[in-house]
Amino acid sequence: MCYIYVSTKPYITLCSEIPWVKQIHLLYVLFLSKEKPIYGEREKLCEGKVREPEDEEEEELESFCKDVKIILHTVNPNEFDAATTYIKPPSDNFNSAVIYPDSCMVVGKFADIKTAIIQTDAGTKCRKFIEDAHKAYPAADFVIGVGVGYAYSEEKCKLADVLVSKKISNFANCKFDGDKIEDRGETIDVVHELSKIFCINTKCKAYIVSTSERASKIHCGTICSYSALFNSTEMRDKFGEQVRTKPVGGEMEGSVLLEFQQDKKFNGAIIIKGVADYGDGNKAKDWQFTAAMAALHYAEAKLRSSGYRSK
């Protein structure tokens, strides 16, 4: 038996009679082997993508920050590293994106738009970081929460599919009455300009996410935001029952992004997350980087085709 590899998918040619041991191996390869994410070692993809600024670049970077239009919000290293693989240098005077003005902020161009990536703490603890970003980039129009989240349906949403918020359901201040949830939040529509870019037409170039050459699919709908991790489908579903339209998924920081939108510190906020688990306590950690990359691919492709540009 010989293997002929095309991309990451093995095509098997039988050259002669196969002993029973090899027959078992062949059956395993064809039918039993578990699908794996296409991206494994993120360090190699991210190498050299960002750097510290030089003293002589300070003046140009200060000017650049005044014109930043998009903020990409990330939390964990997989999300941040995925974002850095897509961001380009601020101008022809730079050889990479640059960490500026703070150690958790990176500036460059995303889909040819002046952009900042920020990395924050999880849940509502992200608030201070986003406030700092608002001060550092006062002209920013939109904040996009990119990275990974959980899906409600394993049947409909596969790992590394992409969830896009048409609405964000805020559970940040909910209370519990025994086993029941008292909903203290609200469900907010994503502003029309962002919805038009990311939700109305979800077609874009196919993005392969697995070794079986499966392409990521896009799922638009309500995303729940609660500042704690779910470790059971029972708890996840209790939150989902509070939403009039069944949610497609959830994450932890969208409620804070909504606050900044409602306070008009940004013109809008949206969540674009790759599916990394199902809110059931079983974390598919090996899928997180690939899921985040799928979300960034979709965000970049839709912004590029939208005609939205930095002024």
Which comes out higher in pLDDT, residue 193 or 38?
193
Tell me: do 104 and 248 sit in the same domain.
yes
103: in domain: yes
User: Domain range holding 24?
Assistant: 1-33
Model confidence over 175-214: pLDDT tens digits? Answer: 766 667 666 678 899 999 999 999 998 988 889 999 889 9
Kindly indicate the confidence band of residue 40, based on its pLDDT and cuts at 50, 70 and 90: low
Query: Cα(298)–Cα(164) distance, rounded to whole angstroms?
Result: 10
Tell me: do 207 and 236 sit in the same domain.
yes
188: in domain: yes
Tell me: do 235 and 259 sit in the same domain.
yes
Kindly indicate the confidence band of residue 6, based on its pLDDT and cuts at 50, 70 and 90: very low
pLDDT at 102 over 80: yes
Tell me: do 264 and 158 sit in the same domain.
yes
User: b/e per residue, 262-289, with b = 16+ CB within 10 A?
Assistant: eeebbebbbbbbbbbbbbbeeebeebbb
Model confidence over 280-306: pLDDT tens digits? Answer: 887 778 899 999 999 999 999 999 999
pTM: 0.86
Kindly indicate the confidence band of residue 245, based on its pLDDT and cuts at 50, 70 and 90: confident
pLDDT of residue 15: 38
Model confidence over 129-173: pLDDT tens digits? Answer: 999 999 999 999 999 999 999 999 999 999 999 999 999 998 877
The total number of structural domains that make up the chain: 2
Kindly indicate the confidence band of residue 7, based on its pLDDT and cuts at 50, 70 and 90: very low
pLDDT at 99 over 60: yes
Tell me: do 214 and 200 sit in the same domain.
yes
| Amino acid occupying residue 76 | N
* Stretch 109-130: mean pLDDT: 96
* CATH at 294: 3.40.50.1580
Query: Cα(252)–Cα(23) distance, rounded to whole angstroms?
Result: 47
94: in domain: yes
SS3 call for 139? coil
* Stretch 5-26: mean pLDDT: 41
Which comes out higher in pLDDT, residue 15 or 282?
282
Residue 202 sits at φ, ψ, to 5 deg, of -95, 5
Tell me: do 67 and 4 sit in the same domain.
no
203: in domain: yes
171: in domain: yes
> Do 237 and 151 touch, CB atoms closer than 8 A?
no
Tell me: do 286 and 168 sit in the same domain.
yes
Tell me: do 130 and 218 sit in the same domain.
yes
195: in domain: yes
Helix ranges, the chain (H):
20-27, 42-46, 58-66, 77-86, 127-136, 192-198, 233-241, 254-262, 288-306
275: in domain: yes
311: in domain: no
Tokens coding 128: 């201070």
Tell me: do 162 and 57 sit in the same domain.
yes
Tell me: do 92 and 18 sit in the same domain.
no
Tell me: do 144 and 209 sit in the same domain.
yes
Tell me: do 210 and 277 sit in the same domain.
yes
Which comes out higher in pLDDT, residue 25 or 35?
35
